Structure 1
Amino acid sequence: MPKGIVLPSLSAGMEDAVIARWLKAEGEAVAAGEALAEIETDKATMELEANAAGTIGKILVPNGERADVNSVIGVLLDESEGAEALADYAPAGAKPADVPALKDATAAPVAKAVVATPAATDKVIASPLARRIAVQNGIDLTGMSGSGPRGRIVRIDVERAAEQAVAAPAPQADVAEATAKLAGLGEYEAVPHSAMRRTIARRLVESKTTVPHFYLEADCGLEALLALRARVNEGRDKPERISVNDFPIKAVAHALARVPEANAVWTDDATLHLDTIDISVAVATDGGLITPVLRNADRKSLGTLSAEMKVLAVKAREGRLKPVEYQGGGFSLSNLGMYGVKRFSAIINPPQSCILAVGAAERRPVERDGQIVFAPVMSVTLSVDHRSVDGAVGAQWLAVFKNAVETPMALLL
């Protein structure tokens, strides 16, 4: 009998995804384990594999459309079945996909876009994140039916309500005001937000509005580091050479091993002090920023970290990262030095407590033995969540990091 092709949860916290591209067409045979479609989550594009052999009988969610986790996105027929088997088919055991034929019957009630108040949201069953997003977008949760367990309102429910509110016709005065604000822009192209871009925007707003950031800065001398790098790279082929960025990664691991209080995650109930040192390193992609994780970084050599980072960066830019390669991490590092940025402050990646922003290495005047000389210097800024890491701990960590960069031989031991 026909079987529903269900969209599974491909990463922790995933609630929906975009069907980027079907790799099989209707009527085409598929083997068990063969890739059916490319699924775009908020972090990467992954392949969905067939659980059984058969023929694609019907595609319910076309390319470019979004579907909920556990919804049926297509129908798989047994090899012996024909198209007539679809006549009496109805999805079972999974929530039907939100396709035109089912939309009116399955769509949950959507709240109107009105100013929300704490009193209104306290009377409904909703996750803390859903409540916060509702307040930020002026969504009243009263009367809304959630898609979570026992009708609990979750993030995706509020985001859909906000999208419908934006799409709804605005009063004439509001339309005129919006048009006036756009006057003088000239021609432009509107690029729809991808799932990844929406998630980045949501998490940045959440971090900057709910996490009490404080910042610590330091200038690190690089003479010894650059000299050591030149020695280490002697005889190495170009793809295997150690980059300047590899040293700060190793120095971060070194400092976390000596100041473990900075390797912390904040939760509402407790501060989690992590036993492993897993470093998230920011990589710029066409779709936005993603942070693959170097796990157990303190136990790996500089060369191993360099090789792993090169592989992860390529996979990140090609959208081939697996969830295990970007989920988790206890500390983040972002390097804009290659763009000539002298110094900057990065936004913390919750629930982590710290992120280090690394600027460009440049020759600057410095004092040495009473004389002004020019030497290579790199500025770094540590952004810290004051709820879980105190100022003294952050300062201690940054001092250890600076010393490791300026005396890098210790990083090879």
Structure 2
Amino acid sequence: MPTEILMPALSPTMEEGTLAKWLVKEGDTVASGDVMCEIETDKATMEFEAVDEGVIGKILIAEGTEGVKVNTAIAVLLEEGESAGDIAEASPPKAEASSKVAPAEASDATAPAKGHGRGETDATPEPTPAAGNKSDGNRLFASPLARRIAAQKGLDLTQVKGSGPHGRIVKADVEGLEKSEATPAQATKSDTPNAVSAAASMPAGASSDTIAKMYADREYEEITLNGMRKTIAARLTEAKQTVPHFYLRRDIQLDALMAFRAQLNKQLEPRGVKLSVNDFIIKACALALQQVPDANAVWAGDKVFKLKPSDVAVAVAIEGGLFTPVLKDAEMKSLSALSAEMKDLAARARDRKLAPHEYQGGSFAISNLGMFGIDNFDAVINPPHGAILAVGAGTKKPVVGADGALGIATVMSVTLSVDHRVIDGALGAELLNAIKDNLEAPMTMLA
């Protein structure tokens, strides 16, 4: 029976995506690892590879189609001996178009197990065929490539649990098995948290039709929300509704840092390296998380996870939204290494080419609007992070020195937004003070 190729879940929170571009056409032969199409998620455009071999019998979803639900059939793959005439016998599509699925039904419509491809997450398993993977008692569902590998290894395919659509056995199911290992696998629950649906996260309020009536006599442009904007709206609404924020503020004098930065940049100029103030802020926060380890933590529902490395996320503005790429093990990296990595992540974020593991995770985030002339602001925590530092512009201000004399200094205002479930007031103050001390004595960050 022809095999449906399903819309994959390319990240743990992906519920739907845009089929941006087909790189194959009907009648093309594909092998495992061949790139078939490009799929745009709420965060990035990613390539979708085949995990099996066969012929593209029919393309079901045209390129450019938005709102394609995860696990919706997007194409049909013909195996050896099958033709386009067999497609009518294939199973009906897994899910309707997103506009046709009621919110209460959406979770059921997207529940089947893994689709055909790489990068998908394990959703709730769909009922699989009885022992031997025979859905009709007579036929074993396995791809030609999987059959050949099994024959070479002497595997009994009736004892292998398939991970493809309808329990079909594919290359990945048999590739690493030896004869003694080919026993029925036990279905396991995914450890990937279920994504909160955008519909369920939306705040109660007036509908767009109601709002439109309010502005019926005014000129306006209606802008349809893309996936990224919907995700940002849902996550930040959730954050402000569920995370008990409190805010700590400090002024940080930057004169020593600016002088030290100028000295370092002069020495690094032959290597083409130019450090920014933001690079120093990243390093200062990473070290502060090590100096105050109890604050290097995230909220995990019914417990707190205390992290050992300093994985620091940095907000990057892009057209239509923002990314928060994560610099992992930032406390271990030099300023020049952090600078190069941040430039690379920011450039690929603007091109929407980041992989999910590059913008997920971390315990702490930085949002710097100083470059836009903002003096100070309060940032919203990005769950499950324990805190986020809002950074304002460094400006010349009058200050009173330790000797009581009035002087002028470059002062930067910062605000630490803290999740009170993870970090208490005194601990948050200790963390912010450590960040301040690191920035005001920048040479110590190289020790």
- TM-score, normalization: structure 1? 0.79
Is residue 265 of structure 1 aligned with residue 298 of structure 2? yes
Look up the match of 1:203: 235
Look up the match of 2:319: 286
Look up the match of 1:66: 67
CA distance in 1, matches of 2:361, 2:26: 38
Identify if the C-alpha distance between structure 1 residues 258 and 156 changes in structure 2 by more than 3 Å, giving closer, same or farther.
closer
Identify if the C-alpha distance between structure 1 residues 397 and 325 changes in structure 2 by more than 3 Å, giving closer, same or farther.
same
Identify if the C-alpha distance between structure 1 residues 166 and 6 changes in structure 2 by more than 3 Å, giving closer, same or farther.
farther
How far is 1:248 from its partner? 0.4
How far is 1:150 from its partner? 9.4
Contact 2:310 2:331 in 1 (8 A): yes
Contact 2:369 2:392 in 1 (8 A): yes
- Secondary structure of the equivalent of 1:240? coil
Tell me which amino acid in the other structure corresponds to 1:204.
Answer: L
Q: CA deviation digits over 1:107-127, x for unaligned, max 9?
A: 56858xxxxxxxxxxxxx9xx
CA distance in 2, matches of 1:377, 1:179: 45
Q: CA deviation digits over 1:267-309, x for unaligned, max 9?
A: 3321221122111111111131111110111111111111111
- Secondary structure of the equivalent of 2:378? coil
Look up the match of 2:46: 46
Contact 1:53 1:79 in 2 (8 A): no
CA distance in 1, matches of 2:301, 2:90: 46
Tell me which amino acid in the other structure corresponds to 2:383.
Answer: P
Query: 198-207 vs 40-49, which deviates more?
Result: 40-49
Contact 1:60 1:97 in 2 (8 A): no
Identify if the C-alpha distance between structure 1 residues 334 and 352 changes in structure 2 by more than 3 Å, giving closer, same or farther.
same
How far is 1:80 from its partner? 6.8
Give the one of 217, 226, 237 matched to 2:249: 217
Look up the match of 2:96: 98
Give the one of 397, 400, 406 matched to 1:367: 400
CA distance in 1, matches of 2:39, 2:442: 43
Aligned pair count reads 361
Identify if the C-alpha distance between structure 1 residues 157 and 294 changes in structure 2 by more than 3 Å, giving closer, same or farther.
closer
- TM-score, normalization: structure 2? 0.73
Look up the match of 1:4: 4
Contact 1:21 1:64 in 2 (8 A): no
CA distance in 2, matches of 1:37, 1:371: 67
Tell me which amino acid in the other structure corresponds to 2:395.
Answer: E
Look up the match of 1:379: 413
Contact 2:245 2:417 in 1 (8 A): yes
Query: 239-248 vs 76-85, which deviates more?
Result: 76-85
What fraction of aligned residue pairs are identical, expressed as a percent? 48
Look up the match of 1:137: none
Identify if the C-alpha distance between structure 1 residues 184 and 403 changes in structure 2 by more than 3 Å, giving closer, same or farther.
farther
Contact 2:253 2:410 in 1 (8 A): yes
Contact 2:379 2:417 in 1 (8 A): yes
Where do 1:171-182 residues align within 5 Å? 178-182=211-215
CA distance in 1, matches of 2:195, 2:13: 10
CA distance in 2, matches of 1:343, 1:218: 10
Contact 2:45 2:353 in 1 (8 A): yes
Tell me which amino acid in the other structure corresponds to 1:249.
Answer: I
Q: CA deviation digits over 1:34-59, x for unaligned, max 9?
A: 22222122222211112234443222
Look up the match of 2:78: 77
Contact 1:16 1:41 in 2 (8 A): yes
CA distance in 1, matches of 2:13, 2:273: 36
Look up the match of 1:192: 224
Query: 397-406 vs 20-29, which deviates more?
Result: 20-29
Where do 1:144-159 residues align within 5 Å? 159=199
How far is 1:61 from its partner? 2.2
CA distance in 1, matches of 2:348, 2:80: 36
CA distance in 1, matches of 2:57, 2:296: 51
How far is 1:31 from its partner? 4.4
Is residue 297 of structure 1 aligned with residue 330 of structure 2? yes
Gapped runs of 5+ residues in structure 1? 112-124, 126-146
Tell me which amino acid in the other structure corresponds to 1:376.
Answer: T
How far is 1:213 from its partner? 0.6
Identify if the C-alpha distance between structure 1 residues 328 and 225 changes in structure 2 by more than 3 Å, giving closer, same or farther.
same
Gapped runs of 5+ residues in structure 2? 109-122, 128-193
- Secondary structure of the equivalent of 1:76? strand
Q: CA deviation digits over 1:304-358, x for unaligned, max 9?
A: 1111111111111111111111111111111111111111110001111100011
Look up the match of 1:389: 423
Query: 335-344 vs 261-270, which deviates more?
Result: 261-270
Contact 1:219 1:377 in 2 (8 A): yes
Look up the match of 2:19: 19
Give the one of 360, 364, 372 matched to 1:331: 364
Contact 1:265 1:351 in 2 (8 A): yes
- Secondary structure of the equivalent of 1:375? strand
How far is 1:162 from its partner? 8.3
How far is 1:4 from its partner? 1.7
Calculate the aligned-residue CA RMSD, in Å.
3.1
